[in-house]
């Protein structure tokens, strides 16, 4: 018994030393010494309750409450509370076998916490209740029950309890998911004040900064993460370099940060080398797919996300990417099946809900309406005249996924010197949108100054991510000069176009068009244009847009503006700026200026150009308003004319 008492005493002393306020790095070693001593005591006398109690206490201190319960006849309430906490921590780190089972372990831990809270309240153990309340908040966060997480945290705070950093972190994640990024950012700052090295809190704050549109802060946060992560890690015990996954994750996040700020070229320059260096990483291929889609390369994005899916089965982020890609490529039955599966497996996931909203938007009918008021000032007798252009177009909900019925009404007026000309058009037709092709056919009835039937056909084909080809034909063309109608003259049109788009930053296009008038005149025109992005910053971009236009007409002396030959060289610039954005809602503005030299045979050349200002208000993913004004200077038979334009356009899905 003397040896047994000595071993128990040594275990208790070692346990006490490990818990002392000034215990240093050797405290864990002291706990293992205590565990060895009490184990030896238990071996000498298995029925010794004192040795078992000491062993259980030491195991509990070492984070093994389930082991502690094994050496005791029955687990105390405090030990079972500890077990519930450990069960929760295990659940949050567990990789689920499938999306359908991803909350199974967390649900089990949460159920045990709820059961223990009832028991603890009956026993009147406030300290244990506080631990359970804290763990419950963490469990609710990992269960993605966001509103309940925040409510539980606020209730604890209202009761005067202080939330430790790990609980505040759970609350911050929930606030961010509930679209309260300012509150989430403040919470992450509190967590980081307690532990500046907390990587997860830094990442959370980064996303809160993105959601508040503070990209300067977001870039600073993510770039600091990149700077602090070495490519390989070494430990004091093992100097062998080991791959550091945080190094790659930080660089992917830094690339995504530029994409979130609509800086897609910079995002691609950061992302592509990472993917080239690690082509078998599924989440990296998924990130490449996202940036490729943002750059206007839907086929490349589709290829990349399917490669990612082949590398990782049942990954929620990749499944969402597959659904998004199916919608971009207009594979609607596939998109429906994928989104239905996502909502079944993760009904509260914000990305899955967003994909469902995008699909619902496709299923809506659509109305597009607009009015343009034109006012001309000058003495040019050949000018078209002031007037109004208005349109209303209705698109039905999808028919067999890719077809829509179209109904349209348009009104055009002009006031040339001969008097007022009016054209009212009413049309019925159909629109088709496939993965690579789309076209629209409409039959028109025309009333007003001249009554005559007409039709329009227009289609386009995009064989890859860069080339687009288009063609159109019209009987009684929409751009027949209204002045010609006063003389009973109409025109038919046909045209072809081609464009090459490198990315969102650069494109070129060309179009040829023929307009054959009923008076025998034949007009032929060629248009060349390009776009090159010069500046890309968060909320701002600046594009340079050169252009060339030339036309010929075969008939002299027509009663409408009809130069025998003309051409213009133009240089334009367009600045786009996001004034305000809050998730789907945004207000943006655009200012474009164009200067050109216009030459008309027989009348020489002169300067023309224009200035246009526009705002775009998006209230939700279904509604958009565009409105603005334009001032322009034109030339008709060598006489300058000033034009003032006001316009408004409304688009809504319902």
Give the fold, CATH level 3, of 142-233+241-362: 1.25.40
Among 12-26, 49-63, 393-407, where is mean pLDDT lowest?
Answer: 12-26
CA distance linking residue 377 with residue 337, whole number of Å? 58
Mean pLDDT of 571-580: 98
- Taking only the tens place, the pLDDT of each residue in 12-50 is 444 444 444 344 444 566 666 666 666 666 666 666 666
Split at pLDDT 50, 70, 90, the class of 338 is very high
CA 5 and chain centroid, separation: 67
CA distance linking residue 111 with residue 66, whole number of Å? 18
Task: Give the DSSP H or E segment for 40.
Answer: helix 27-44
Say what the pLDDT of residue 24 is: 45
Say what the pLDDT of residue 520 is: 96
- Taking only the tens place, the pLDDT of each residue in 582-596 is 999 999 999 999 999
Say what the pLDDT of residue 584 is: 92
Split at pLDDT 50, 70, 90, the class of 345 is confident
The HSE-up count of residue 186 (CA atoms within 13 Å, CB side) is 4
Say what the pLDDT of residue 34 is: 65
Among residues of the chain, what percentage have pLDDT more than 90? 79
Residue count (the chain): 654
pLDDT surpassing 70 at residue 429: yes
The residues, ordered by sequence, that sit 6+ positions from 23 with a Cβ below 8 Å of its Cβ are: 17, 30
Torsion angle of alpha carbons 501, 504, 510, 513, nearest 10°? 120
Per DSSP, the three-state class of 570 is: strand
Evaluate whether 495 touches 525 at the Cβ level (below 8 Å): no
- Mean of all residue pLDDT scores within the chain: 91
Mean pLDDT of 391-418: 97
Say what the pLDDT of residue 6 is: 47
Residue 331: phi, psi to the nearest 5?
Answer: -95, 75
Say what the pLDDT of residue 14 is: 46
pLDDT surpassing 90 at residue 1: no
CA distance readout (Å), 56 to 35, 67, 127? 9, 7, 20
Say what the pLDDT of residue 108 is: 93
Split at pLDDT 50, 70, 90, the class of 11 is very low
CA distance linking residue 42 with residue 8, whole number of Å? 9
The DSSP secondary-structure symbol of 224 reads H
Among residues of the chain, what percentage have pLDDT more than 70? 91
pLDDT surpassing 90 at residue 185: yes
Which of 209, 215, 284 is CA-nearest to residue 249? 284
Instruction: Identify the sign of the CA torsion 95, 191, 197, 249.
Output: positive
pLDDT surpassing 90 at residue 601: yes
More confident residue, 579 or 620: 579
- Domain limits, the chain: 2-75, 142-233+241-362, 366-653
Mean pLDDT of 474-478: 97
CA distance linking residue 476 with residue 489, whole number of Å? 10
* Residue in the structure block whose two tokens are 């005791």: 72
CA 453 and chain centroid, separation: 45
CA distance linking residue 526 with residue 457, whole number of Å? 20
Mean pLDDT of 229-245: 83
CA distance linking residue 593 with residue 269, whole number of Å? 30
Per DSSP, the three-state class of 391 is: strand
- Taking only the tens place, the pLDDT of each residue in 451-469 is 999 999 999 999 999 999 9
Using the CB atoms, write b or e for 353-375: b if 16+ within 10 Å: eebbebbeebeeebebebbbebe
Mean pLDDT of 564-587: 97
pLDDT surpassing 80 at residue 562: yes
Among 39-43, 202-206, 478-482, where is mean pLDDT lowest?
Answer: 39-43
CA distance linking residue 533 with residue 542, whole number of Å? 6
- Tokens representing 602 are 């027989």
Mean pLDDT of 420-433: 98
- Taking only the tens place, the pLDDT of each residue in 85-126 is 888 988 888 777 777 788 899 999 999 999 999 999 999 999
Say what the pLDDT of residue 76 is: 84
Which CATH number among 1.10.3470, 3.55.50, 1.20.120, 2.40.160 corresponds to the domain 366-653?
2.40.160
Say what the pLDDT of residue 35 is: 66
Split at pLDDT 50, 70, 90, the class of 490 is very high
Split at pLDDT 50, 70, 90, the class of 400 is very high
Say what the pLDDT of residue 78 is: 86
The per-type count for the chain, helices as H runs and strands as E runs, is 20, 18
Per DSSP, the three-state class of 323 is: helix
- Taking only the tens place, the pLDDT of each residue in 522-561 is 999 999 999 999 999 999 999 999 999 999 999 998 999 9
């Amino acid at each position: 018994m003397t040896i047994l008492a000595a071993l128990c005493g040594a275990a208790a002393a070692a346990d006490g030393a490990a818990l002392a306020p000034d215990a240093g790095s050797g405290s864990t070693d002291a706990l293992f010494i205590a565990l060895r001593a009490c184990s030896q005591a238990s071996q000498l006398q298995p029925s010794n309750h004192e040795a078992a109690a000491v062993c259980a206490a030491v195991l509990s201190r070492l984070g093994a409450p389930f082991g502690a319960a094994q050496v005791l006849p029955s687990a105390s309430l405090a030990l079972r509370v500890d077990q519930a906490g450990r069960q929760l921590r295990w659940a949050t780190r567990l990789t689920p076998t499938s999306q359908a089972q991803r909350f199974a372990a967390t649900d089990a831990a949460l159920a045990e916490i709820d059961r223990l809270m009832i028991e603890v309240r009956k026993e009147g153990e406030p300290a244990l209740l506080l631990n359970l309340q804290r763990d419950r908040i963490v469990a609710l966060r990992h269960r993605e029950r966001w509103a309940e997480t925040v409510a539980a945290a606020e209730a604890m705070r209202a009761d005067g309890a202080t939330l430790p950093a790990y609980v505040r972190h759970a609350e911050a994640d929930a606030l961010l998911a509930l679209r309260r990024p300012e509150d989430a950012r403040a919470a992450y700052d509190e967590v980081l004040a307690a532990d500046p090295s907390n990587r997860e809190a830094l990442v959370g704050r980064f996303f809160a900064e993105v959601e508040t549109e503070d990209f300067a802060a977001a870039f600073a946060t993510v770039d600091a993460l990149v700077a602090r992560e070495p490519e390989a890690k070494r430990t004091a015990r093992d100097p062998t370099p080991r791959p550091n996954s945080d190094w790659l994750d930080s660089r992917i996040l830094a690339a995504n940060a530029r994409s979130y700020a609509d800086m897609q070229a910079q995002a691609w320059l950061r992302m592509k080398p990472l993917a080239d260096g690690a082509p078998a990483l599924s989440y990296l291929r998924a990130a490449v797919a996202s940036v490729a889609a943002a750059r206007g390369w839907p086929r490349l994005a589709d290829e990349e996300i399917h490669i990612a899916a082949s590398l990782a089965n049942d990954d929620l982020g990749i499944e969402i990417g597959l659904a998004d890609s199916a919608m971009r490529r207009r594979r609607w039955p596939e998109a429906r099946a994928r989104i239905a599966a996502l909502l079944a497996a993760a009904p509260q996931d914000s990305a899955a809900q967003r994909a469902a909203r995008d699909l619902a938007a496709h299923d809506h009918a659509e109305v597009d309406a607009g009015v343009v008021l034109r006012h001309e000032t000058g003495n040019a007798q050949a000018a078209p005249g002031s007037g109004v252009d208005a349109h209303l177009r209705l698109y039905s909900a999808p028919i067999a996924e890719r077809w829509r019925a179209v109904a349209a009404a348009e009104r055009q007026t002009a006031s040339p010197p001969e008097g007022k000309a009016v054209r009212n058009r009413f049309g019925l037709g159909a629109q088709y949108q496939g993965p690579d092709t789309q076209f629209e056919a409409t039959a028109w009835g025309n009333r007003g100054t001249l009554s005559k039937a007409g039709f329009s056909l227009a289609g386009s084909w995009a064989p890859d991510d860069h080339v687009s080809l288009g063609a159109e034909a019209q009987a009684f063309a929409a751009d027949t000069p209204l002045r010609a109608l006063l003389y009973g003259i109409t025109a038919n049109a046909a045209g072809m176009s081609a464009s090459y788009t490198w990315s969102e930053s650069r494109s070129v296009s060309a179009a040829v068009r023929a307009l054959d008038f009923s008076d025998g005149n034949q007009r032929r025109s060629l248009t060349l244009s390009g776009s090159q992005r010069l500046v890309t910053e968060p909320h701002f971009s600046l594009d340079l847009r050169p252009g060339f236009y030339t036309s010929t007409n075969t008939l002299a002396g027509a009663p409408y503006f009809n130069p025998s030959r003309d051409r213009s060289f133009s240089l334009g610039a367009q600045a786009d700026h996001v004034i305000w954005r809050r998730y789907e809602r945004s207000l943006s503005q655009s200012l474009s200026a164009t200067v050109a030299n216009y030459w008309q045979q027989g009348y020489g050349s002169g300067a023309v150009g224009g200035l246009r200002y526009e705002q775009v208000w998006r209230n939700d993913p279904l509604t958009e308003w565009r409105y603005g004004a334009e001032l322009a200077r034109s030339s008709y038979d060598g006489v300058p004319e000033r034009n003032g334009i006001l316009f408004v356009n409304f688009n809504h899905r319902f």
